[in-house]
Amino acid sequence: MQTTLKIGTRGSPLALAQAHETRARLMAAHGLPEQAFEIAVISTSGDRIQDRPLSEAGGKGLFTKEIEEAMLARRIDIAVHSSKDMPTVLPDGLELSAFLLREDARDAFIGKAARSIAELPRGARVGSSSLRRQALIRRMRPDLDVVMFRGNVQTRLRKLDEGVADGTILAYAGLKRLGLEQVVTDLMPLEKFPPAPGQGAICIESRIGDADVERMLAAIHDAPTGQALACERAFLAALDGSCRTPIAGHATISGDKLSFAGLIISPDGTQSHEVRLDGPASDAARIGAEAARAVRAKAGETFFDGWA
């Protein structure tokens, strides 16, 4: 393998923090100096499109397309992503080779005056670009005004300061990685406000067949996180999940046992269907796919019609 491992990433502060965390773990695992790695910042369509929801612009792949093209062209060796941004189908020749130990998967509420969604007055504005978060907010508080909020974490916090909204909801893991825990005014319980599949987990993508890279990544891979994500991504894939579909799913691993909770919800928050399934962690992907079949059967085949 070449002497320098090139790590591809988006250029947002959170993406860079995740790339630096990955580099630090590789350095520690293999006793390598920082100079053994190069972090290559790649601008993606998802970063450039700020005037409309991703669901209208093309979905999750907008955050990965240019990075994956660079990897297939061998301009980079690995790519570091937020797992929740990854489409369930990857380009031919690429695979998710490692998952770092998962951070807290919960969502966090950040309020200006109110410290929680419950404290917000009727008609207050809550900013979010996520269809899942929008739907869950509407389910909890149909009297609130949900407004579109795009941009990286710092941009969204600035919009909050400027009065564009009275509160917003962001992934707690991202705020922790940026050292911004102090802005959080409330943490959303997993049971009432389930996260996106993959939320809180960093994944590393590489070319299939790069044996040297695979050996390096194996040293930093967290197996329980990988099993949880296999379940969640199978659930998403079986439901044809994209940015157009409000889907939540979260798996936990305890020893050799896996527990999964999933939810599908209409964008207006008025209809939702939940599923819970337990089983051997070694059957993670099967459990996720089975949970998807169960919740689809519960909801009926027409549930997604008209808005998916």
**Residues with active-site annotation:** 85
Q: What distances in angstroms separate CA 270 from CA 112, 135, 264, 267, one per listed residue?
A: 27, 8, 11, 8
- Among the residues of the chain, which ranges form H helices? 13-30, 45-48, 54-57, 65-72, 131-140, 153-161, 172-177, 211-218, 223-238, 284-299
Cα–Cα dist 305/216, whole Å: 45
What burial letters (b/e) apply to 256-290, b meaning 16+ CB within 10 Å? eebbbbbbbbbbebeebbbbebebebeebbebbbb
What's the residue count for the chain?
A: 308
The helix or strand, by DSSP H or E, that contains position 207, with its residue range, turns out to be: strand 202-207
Quick one: DSSP state of residue 2?
-
Instruction: Give me the sign of the Cα torsion angle 154, 183, 147, 9.
Output: positive
Q: What distances in angstroms separate CA 263 from CA 240, 274, 293, one per listed residue?
A: 14, 4, 12
257 beta partners: 254, 280
Cα–Cα dist 81/16, whole Å: 10
Joined together, the tokens standing for residue 88 give: 């369930």
What burial letters (b/e) apply to 56-78, b meaning 16+ CB within 10 Å? ebebbbbbbbbbbebbeeeebbb
Which residue in 306, 188, 191 sits closest to 245, CA to CA? Answer: 306
Joined together, the tokens standing for residue 41 give: 């910042």
